[in-house]
Amino acid sequence: MSDARDKYQDPQYALHSSHWGSFLVRQEAGKLQVKPYPDDPNPYRLIENFTNALDHPVRVDKPAVRRGWLEHGPGPDSRRGNDEYVTVSWDRALDLLADELQRVGKQYGPGAIFGGSYGWSSAGRFHHAQSQVHRFLNTAMGGYVKSVNTYSAGASAVILPHVMADADDLARRNVTWDRIVEHTDILLAFGGIASKNYAVASGGISHHFERDAMRAAADRGCKFVLFSPQRAELPEETRFEWIPTRPATDTAVMLALAYVLVKESLHDQAFIDRYCDGWDVFRAYLLGETDDIPKSPVWAESITGIAANKLYELARMLAGKRVVVATSHSVQRAEHGEQPIWMATVLAAILGQHGLPGGGFAYALGSIAHYGRQLVAAPPGSLPQGENGVRDYIPVARVADMLLHPGAPFDYNGQKLRYPRIKLAYWAGGNPFHHHQDLKRLTLAFQQLDTFVVHESVWTATARHADFVLPATMTLERNDVGGSPTEPLVIAMRAVARPWGQARSDYDIFCGLAERLGALDAFSENRDEMGWLAEIYEKTRTGLEDMRLPAPDFATFWEQGFVRIPARPDTGGMIAAFRNDPIARPLPTPSGRIQVSSPVVHRFGYADCPGHPAWLPPGRGPDQDHPLWLIANQPADKLHSQLDFGAYSQSYKRKGRAVCTLHPDVAEARGIKEGDCVRIFSTTGACLAIAKLNADMLPEVVQLPTGAWYNPAVDKRGELLCAHGNPNAVIPDIGTSPLAQGCAGQLAAVQLERYDGELPPVTCFMPPVQRPADQVV
């Protein structure tokens, strides 16, 4: 350890961690300087977003209460999102909020509090804001209505356990990069493996090695095939073949490949017989025996835009090869998102690849950097969340439906549930005005609440819709422990700056509230920040000790700055074990095998998710008025909406706005030139963005990444649009299907036009009007 300590313990710099990379950081003459962690083979420039973050004018510096709430008390209010704020002392803010929590708790019970608080927050294990909210609501309020699943993997998290295994098991404990480098002949990447995505891992990442792994695999002879509407989804070093594919048609592509393999007897019937259940039902559908539509390449050509000959060629190329079928998170973040995921498991089964080294189904490989990596032997612990006394929940992306339709029934995973009646929502560490769709509708939804509480470091659109805005410290202003199940370093994330203004950590804010509610002991267990960090680190220390490895105590770890933990052996996980012995190690499905069709899903009776994977045309696809697909994928210049005001993110903007990419033919047909402002609109809403032309994409798509802070503005013709380029202003708020009710925010049918004349200003990086209480008249 000592050589490493000497190397990184430059007294000038502290080692810190973020979801997008470990980095070294110091303050000099009031300026923050960052440099990559020296052992990172491929550091990500996103760390530069920190350089101007700490003292940016958009920081929340004092507790603030929405003026309408202060004057009229709790209740639905259409001013939410368009009101002034009154700054108050911490004592006043916490007294008011504790009274309101008590009122809601006494009058309605904890089942009237929504504490889902979805969001990625920051990398440290202790100051993980969502865990802090949950622990507080459990210990001080008796619980809360929670949300299940994620915006990342809403559809796959529900379909995969029915048909194969837990989505996390299939992503984290299955096909690894090491095995791909060594064994894979062909890697089919549906939706791509983009560097902006594998640069990120929740909880931290110190070694970005995916690009090198892909290069090594390609150098050995592995062929990479990209199915995507855009070319920029795989590193060039892989020398990949790009098969331009219409959005939302991956299932049809896979069906056509499966059709050729089965028709030409190139499939692995022995694997299917031994390891799969429900083959006959699916086979009949595939060959057109049930609906008179053989799912042949000729059938698929008009759907996918891929020539039938090419599909025949690709299918024949797969036979007898070691193949990975990889699907990104993004292909399932769309209407019917369950289908491409289920079909990918079936395609890998038809090829007989599941459980072979460097073969099978790799869920979300490279969609974040956790996947395809080996698990480490002793990751740090996390903040215990306590017992939730409330049983009600919603699928995470149904939040606006819940607030707009209290008590209404809804379908989810074979059940009929009812939306709870929520009076108070509590959010910390997330930005629903980034992650949710149809932002006008979301505004209406939050206006139904009695009270909306947000802890934030910066004035995001979510903060601007809240009644209580409590200033939270940023990661660099507090101590924490960084680590994750796939991260070889556990990092002592030392504070390098004093809290901005009056900001407090989420933990300190909750201690203040818990004290007022008589629950301080239960919430804090009489530990301060360092006490909790020692507790969280203890899991790593005992893990190392159990392996008879050097296991420094907390004080030594803190002084050293990090400890290194070994990876667990790569055994291939449960799928390899299942392949070796399907009787002794069955899958956790009803048959214990891969469900090529599922009687359980069939019995649910959902037209949008039948009992076998199927091609289902999008219900809300392009039409005459909205002929283009908008692809709203993850941004390259920031993580989600985090630090959108940061120097690196700002350097990507044009005219201070987000950049959308379109094909030159689409631009020419509309009189749009590179650098013009365009209005992107749908039946849901509109936003502005600046055009960038790119011929390496299908002419029928326009791409606008997520993450530009929502900047509602009324334009010259009186339309409310996002002046900054947040695609969620344009994308409808629909679930993937009644099965998963997942986020379908990746795609929407839109039209595009040049936007001439004066542009509405971008104001989202300036704080809202705030007045001290004694100046409010």
Stretch touching ligand PGD by CB under 6 A, among 234-242, 252-260, 455-463, 671-679? 455-463
Quote the CA–CA distance of 295 and 688 in Å, as a whole number. 40
Stretch touching ligand PGD by CB under 6 A, among 118-126, 320-328, 523-531, 596-604? 118-126
Stretch touching ligand PGD by CB under 6 A, among 352-360, 380-388, 533-541, 640-648? 640-648
Quote the CA–CA distance of 210 and 193 in Å, as a whole number. 9
Cβ proximity to ligand PGD: between 145 and 364 the closer is 364
What six digits make up the tokens of 241? Answer: 């073949």
Sites for ligand PGD among residues 688-747 (CB under 6 A): 706, 727-728, 731, 743, 745-746
Q: What is the contact mask toward ligand PGD in residues 145 to 184, using x (rule: CB under 6 A)? A: ------xx--------------------------------
Is 472 a binding residue for ligand PGD by CB under 6 A? The answer is: yes
120 catalytic? Reply is yes
Is 368 a binding residue for ligand PGD by CB under 6 A? The answer is: no
Is 513 a binding residue for ligand PGD by CB under 6 A? The answer is: no
Cβ proximity to ligand PGD: between 330 and 737 the closer is 330
Q: In the complex, what is the shortest distance from the CB of residue 398 to ligand PGD, in angstroms, rounded to a whole number? A: 14
Q: Which of 8, 69, 118, 709 is catalytic?
A: 118
- Residue from 22, 121, 353, 703 touching ligand PGD (CB under 6 A): that is 121
Q: In the complex, what is the shortest distance from the CB of residue 275 to ligand PGD, in angstroms, rounded to a whole number? A: 31
- Residue from 156, 249, 633, 711 touching ligand PGD (CB under 6 A): that is 633
What six digits make up the tokens of 497? Answer: 């700056």
Stretch touching ligand PGD by CB under 6 A, among 41-49, 220-228, 342-350, 450-458? 450-458
Pairing relationship of beta strands 85-87 and 21-28 according to DSSP bridges:
unpaired
Quote the CA–CA distance of 457 and 59 in Å, as a whole number. 6
Sites for ligand PGD among residues 51-110 (CB under 6 A): none
- Residue from 447, 642, 711, 751 touching ligand PGD (CB under 6 A): that is 642
For 673, counting Cβ atoms within 10 Å of its Cβ (0-12 exposed, 13-18 middle, 19+ buried), the class is exposed
- Residue from 434, 539, 593, 724 touching ligand PGD (CB under 6 A): that is 434
- Residue from 641, 682, 741, 751 touching ligand PGD (CB under 6 A): that is 641
Q: In the complex, what is the shortest distance from the CB of residue 299 to ligand PGD, in angstroms, rounded to a whole number? A: 29
Q: In the complex, what is the shortest distance from the CB of residue 514 to ligand PGD, in angstroms, rounded to a whole number? A: 16
- Residue from 20, 23, 69, 120 touching ligand PGD (CB under 6 A): that is 120
Helix ranges (DSSP H) in 365-495:
399-404, 432-435, 439-447, 461-464
Cβ proximity to ligand PGD: between 450 and 456 the closer is 456
What six digits make up the tokens of 48? Answer: 């530069």
Cβ proximity to ligand PGD: between 138 and 156 the closer is 156
Quote the CA–CA distance of 155 and 456 in Å, as a whole number. 29
Cβ proximity to ligand PGD: between 328 and 353 the closer is 328
Cβ proximity to ligand PGD: between 267 and 626 the closer is 626
Report yes or no: 730 and 682 within 8 Å, Cβ to Cβ: yes
Residue 686, classed as helix, strand or coil, is strand
Residue identified by tokens 């052996």 is 569
342 catalytic? Reply is no
Q: In the complex, what is the shortest distance from the CB of residue 640 to ligand PGD, in angstroms, rounded to a whole number? A: 3
Question: Where are the extended beta strands (E) located within 231-354?
Answer: 241-244, 276-277, 323-327
Is 680 a binding residue for ligand PGD by CB under 6 A? The answer is: no
Quote the CA–CA distance of 598 and 603 in Å, as a whole number. 9
Cβ proximity to ligand PGD: between 306 and 341 the closer is 341
Cβ proximity to ligand PGD: between 460 and 524 the closer is 460
DSSP of 134-147, one letter per residue?
A: HHHHHHHHS--BEE
Long-range contacts of 137-140 (CB under 8 A, 24+ apart): 137/110, 137/113, 137/388, 137/426, 138/385, 138/386, 138/387, 138/388, 138/389, 139/386, 139/514, 139/519, 139/522, 139/523, 140/101, 140/510, 140/513, 140/514, 140/517, 140/519, 140/522, 140/523
Among residues 72, 41, 50, 155, the alpha carbon closest in space to that of 457 is found at 50
Residue 427, classed as helix, strand or coil, is strand
Cβ proximity to ligand PGD: between 634 and 649 the closer is 634
- Segment holding 66, helix H or strand E: strand 64-66
Q: In the complex, what is the shortest distance from the CB of residue 2 to ligand PGD, in angstroms, rounded to a whole number? A: 33
Q: In the complex, what is the shortest distance from the CB of residue 753 to ligand PGD, in angstroms, rounded to a whole number? A: 21
Distance from chain centroid for Cα 56: 26
Is 119 a binding residue for ligand PGD by CB under 6 A? The answer is: yes
Q: Which of 20, 44, 69, 120 is catalytic?
A: 120
Among residues 517, 573, 63, 515, the alpha carbon closest in space to that of 362 is found at 573
Among residues 346, 438, 544, 455, the alpha carbon closest in space to that of 93 is found at 455
Q: What is the contact mask toward ligand PGD in residues 304 to 343, using x (rule: CB under 6 A)? A: -----------------------------x----------
Quote the CA–CA distance of 258 and 284 in Å, as a whole number. 12
Q: In the complex, what is the shortest distance from the CB of residue 577 to ligand PGD, in angstroms, rounded to a whole number? A: 30
Longest pairwise C-alpha distance within the chain: 81
Quote the CA–CA distance of 188 and 347 in Å, as a whole number. 11
Q: Which residues bind ligand PGD (CB under 6 A)?
A: 119-122, 127, 129, 151-152, 333, 428-431, 434-435, 455-458, 460, 472, 506, 632-634, 639-642, 706, 727-728, 731, 743, 745-746
Just list the catalytic residues. 118, 120
